[in-house]
Chain A
Amino acid sequence: MAAHPAQDGPPPPDSGPPPSPASSSPTSSTVTLEVNGTSHRLTLDHRTTVLDALREHLDLTGTKKGCDHAQCGACTVLADGRRVNSCLLPAVAYDGVEITTVEGLAGGGAPHPLQRAFLDRDGLQCGYCTPGQLCSAVGAIAEAAEGHPSHVTPLSAPPGAPVPLSPDEIRERMSGNLCRCGAYVNIVAAIEDVTR
């Protein structure tokens, strides 16, 4: 995979069941979306994005549409653990891929530690970028742990070794998620709270 997962293309074809011919047409296909651990069998227009499938077909509106052009990051979800801008992804190419949205971050009825930290640090105002920030933070923490360097990682850092998430690293890695309310310093503090 590329070093910057947000720019990854669709994952390789999945070995899941082929679309049912009966419900396919030249402009639609039946796919299975695995979202937050639940399988959803959907017949979708080939133009439907993962974002619109979540919001308009599955009523999972926690994932936001800010720009529809992968410029703001509000639509960030995790696909097989990697953060992606769901507004640019054709849903039919994500058959069988494990999608995690903000609704799936909490486990066992308790908020995810990042969700708790965002509340404590007031890492949100209007809240519209927040689900994307949270999913992006989960992805960024995983990338650093796996040794993916960023633009600010020192050239001397050993390749493949976990990258410590300094405030500079957090700021750099979170710069694909815009917040017009300007909560950045609080977002960085919240992520630090969780990674420290």
Chain B
Amino acid sequence: MNPAGTTGPLSAADDGGGAPVRLEGLLKVTGAARYAAEHTPPGTAYAWPVPAGVARGRVVAVDTGRAMAEPGALAVLTHENAPRLKETGDATLLVLQDDRVPHRGWYVALAVARTPEAARAMAGAVVVSYEPEGHDTVLTPDHPGLYVPDKVNAGFPGSRERGDFDAAYAGAAVRVDATYTLTGLHNHPMEPHATTARWEDGRLFAHDSSQGATLVRETLAGLFGMDKRLITVVSEHVGGGFGCKGTPRPQVVLAAMAARHTGLPVKLALPRAQLAAVAGHRPPMFQRVRLGAGGDGVISALAHEVVTQTSTVREFVEQAAVPSRVMYTSPHSRTVHRAVALDVPSPSWMRAPGEASGMYALECAMDELAGAAGLDPVELRIRNDTATEPDSGKPYSSRHLVECLREGARRFGWAARDPRPRSRAEGRLLLGTGVASANYPVYLAPSRAQARAERAADGVRFLVRTDATDIGTGARTVLAQIAAEALGVPLERIGVEIGNTGLPAAPVAGGSAGTASWGWAVHKACRALGGLLAEHGGTVPPEGLATTADTADDVPAESRHVQAAFGAHFAEVAVDADTGEARVRRLLGVYAAGRILNARTARSQFIGGMMMGLGMALLEGSTMDPRFGDFAERDLASYHVPACADVRDVEAHWIAEEDPHLNPVGGKGIGEIGIVGTAAAIANAVHHATGVRVRDLPITPDKLLGTAGGPGRWSGAASGSTAHDLPT
């Protein structure tokens, strides 16, 4: 079952020194790579949106007089004059279509002017009158509007029951019952959502900051009721996404509407402080986890009950309980999601939706179970490993969780750990270590690609073309590597064109599925090209050779196996006993994610995910203001993403995992697993350091000190946390 674990030391990552440097790297470090708002056709106008100033109600009047008096003013679009859109299934895109305000920050007008300064001034001068209605924006664990959705994100059932949880839990020798809470979280890629759009002879051209131009084009075609062949969307360089650019966002719709209305190219970059309301967010959540186990720590009963929010605009429910269906042996299981539609911005994808939030709760509960059972947390997880996925009963194509835990423990020096909480200190710093497992399912989507061989002055050059997106993952580079390998030629002979709907259609960069999905099509096209080249005796005719591939018939709808990546995270923290400030000293991740194509860029993705997990654990929090119905922390001064000084020693390694059941690329996807479990590893380390169990992220000093009642009572809390010392 564990081929990698039986042959001595496992291969691991070095610093990637031998792997290719990212192909567009030079363009990025010299400033030559152009992002969506960095195209300025002659006559370009600038747009600035006007967000709703009430949390619920109706727009009764929009006074544009003062705005239109601004020198350079071109237009103010409102629901009364904006182009009409057709429904496409994503109501967050139906902007300026009616007078309804479903949440604060919903766009109610768009100012368009000759200059960015004028557009911004106009937006501030638009006077919107509302008929406000009472709003309900605060998630509570017993909200009367809670319901169980049939399906949650990614199509999983909202509720699942196996066996008899209640009886098994009641009869368990060791029990944990704990509730973990998360605030809303925001993606905040460094490049805000932006579009430059223009119309020419009935055709629409848009440079859009998105994770998938193909989907943006199809959506625009639906919204504007036009043939998609009349639309070109370019997403050549994208300044991060982390899920919030995985679906089309209002800026591309607004820019296209403004360009049509004014007859000019229009550039729209959303202001940072507006993103929280229109770009999606990870929803706040209450998660009650109950674990019942024997004295040996083997789980008999597992319940994971999620309470979360969606909006009134579009249903999105994070699948946070789904990881508990698959992680550990659990003959009696109850996993259920309850959601309430509030007058809040629509939540959506944020890096590892479901896994990141759900595994925070499950992996903290596992730590509590280890404490209750008197077992080492690594050993507890090993004892609960399973060869078959508990939910479906299917075997895994490969599952090397145990190897990741063991390899991580070895590298981290886990064996020397004193399990007692608050057993290590350096002066006023309390030190602790924690562990958590990670998992992320393998997703695959059909894709198309073209491969070309062309004569060039220096021999034959090859070009692969597909509408993939490189949001910083290194996609461009690994697609070139896949092509070079399939064609049997050096990487230097390969050119890559991505990020343009003029290329063969491809799915979004999401679900950690990009490389495998696009790569499969590139591999197939290149293999066909190699065959074609052989038919021509190895000589490229003057007109060149080209092949296209489509994996629609290759990607299996249903597999005999369950496919997923696994990993283990280890963290060491130092908590200041006086101030309650927790800082991460070390983070280590070990992954089993199939074949790793580029050690340099893969390592970056892993550590990048871990950084976001660090932010989730200690820094990132978003407060819903009940009176205004708005997120309080909307900018990067108040919403704290990790900064350079927050991060010290971070390592990512992986084990050699060959899984013949996957796909020709051989990879499981690595973009998201780095965040999964990282927050739990850090939270568990904080508990180990302090003896205080904070079950409410982020773990800020006020929570640590408040729980312990101040520095004078730290020692009182160190006698050991129970499963019931809920934070105040």
Contacts and interface: CB of A to CB of B under 8 A. Distances in A.
Interface of A: 27, 45, 47-48, 52, 55-56, 59-69, 71-72, 74, 101-103, 105-106, 111, 115, 118-122, 124-131, 134, 170-172, 174-188
Contacts of B273: 69
A172 B645 CA distance: 5
A74 B35 CA distance: 13
A74 B189 CA distance: 12
A127 B272 contact: no
Contacts of B191: 64, 66, 126, 128
A129 B29 CA distance: 10
A45 B642 contact: no
Given A68-B271, A134-B29, A122 B21 contact: yes
B239 A174 contact: no
B34 interface: yes
Interface in B385-419: none
Contacts of A172: 644-645
Interface residues of B, number: 68
Nearest to A66: B190
A130 B28 contact: yes
Interface string B159-192: 0000000000000000000000000000111111
Given A66-B272, A115-B29, A126 B644 contact: no
A180 to B, nearest CB: 5
30 contacts: A47-B117, A47-B121, A48-B115, A55-B38, A67-B635, A67-B636, A69-B272, A69-B273, A115-B29, A115-B30, A118-B25, A119-B21, A122-B22, A122-B25, A124-B22, A125-B601, A125-B604, A126-B190, A126-B238, A126-B472, A128-B189, A128-B190, A131-B29, A171-B644, A171-B647, A171-B648, A172-B645, A175-B646, A180-B189, A180-B242
A186 B604 contact: yes
A131 B121 CA distance: 29
A96 to B, nearest CB: 22
Contact of A180 (B190, B604, B607, B647): B190
Contact of A119 (B25, B118, B121, B649): B25
Interface string B260-282: 00000000010111000000000
Given A61-B31, A63-B31, A125 B116 contact: no
B417 to A, nearest CB: 24
Given A45-B117, A61-B38, A181 B641 contact: no
B603 A125 contact: no
Interface in B605-649: 605, 607-612, 635-637, 641-649
Contacts of B600: 122
Given A67-B635, A128-B191, A182-B642, A62 B603 contact: no
B26 interface: yes
B226 interface: no
A71 to B, nearest CB: 4
A65 B269 CA distance: 9
Interface in B221-257: 237-240, 242
B604 A122 contact: yes
B16 interface: yes
Given A125-B608, A175-B645, A181-B472, 12 more contacts: A64-B35, A69-B636, A122-B601, A122-B604, A126-B240, A127-B28, A170-B644, A180-B242, A182-B609, A185-B647, A185-B650, A186-B607
A55 B649 CA distance: 36
Interface in B70-119: 71, 115-118
A59 B42 CA distance: 12
Contact of B644 (A68, A71, A119, A174): A174
- Most chain B CB inside 10 Å of its own CB: which residue of A45, A124, A184: A184
User: Top 6 nearest A-B pairs by Cβ distance?
Assistant: A62-B31, A182-B611, A128-B239, A126-B472, A127-B28, A125-B472
B408 to A, nearest CB: 18
B659 interface: no
A119 B239 CA distance: 17
B471 A62 contact: no
A101 B29 CA distance: 11
A71 B637 contact: yes
A74 B29 contact: no
A125 B450 CA distance: 26
Contacts of A186: 604, 607
B272 A67 contact: yes
Identify whether the interface residues of B are mostly helix, strand, loop, or mixed. loop
A61 B563 CA distance: 43
A63 to B, nearest CB: 7
A150 B25 CA distance: 31
Given A171-B644, A181-B472, A182-B642, A27 B189 contact: no
Interface string B31-60: 111110110100000000000000000000
B30 A106 contact: yes
B581 interface: no
A47 B647 CA distance: 37
A66 B641 CA distance: 13
B473 interface: yes
B658 interface: no
B497 interface: no
Contacts of B115: 45, 48, 56
Contacts of B636: 66-67, 69, 71-72, 178
B21 A62 contact: no
A74 B611 contact: no
A27 B121 CA distance: 13
B638 to A, nearest CB: 9
B24 interface: yes
B473 to A, nearest CB: 7
A62 B29 CA distance: 9
A66 B190 CA distance: 5
B40 A127 contact: no
A94 to B, nearest CB: 16
Contacts of B650: 185
Given A69-B635, A178-B643, A180-B190, A61 B116 contact: no
Given A52-B116, A74-B190, A111-B29, A125 B605 contact: yes
B654 to A, nearest CB: 16
A184 B271 contact: no
Contact of A124 (B28, B192, B242, B646): B28
Contacts of B271: 68
A78 B187 CA distance: 29
A136 B309 CA distance: 40
Nearest to B643: A175
A192 B566 CA distance: 33
B472 A127 contact: yes
B269 to A, nearest CB: 7
Contacts of B190: 64, 66, 72, 74, 126, 128-129, 178-181
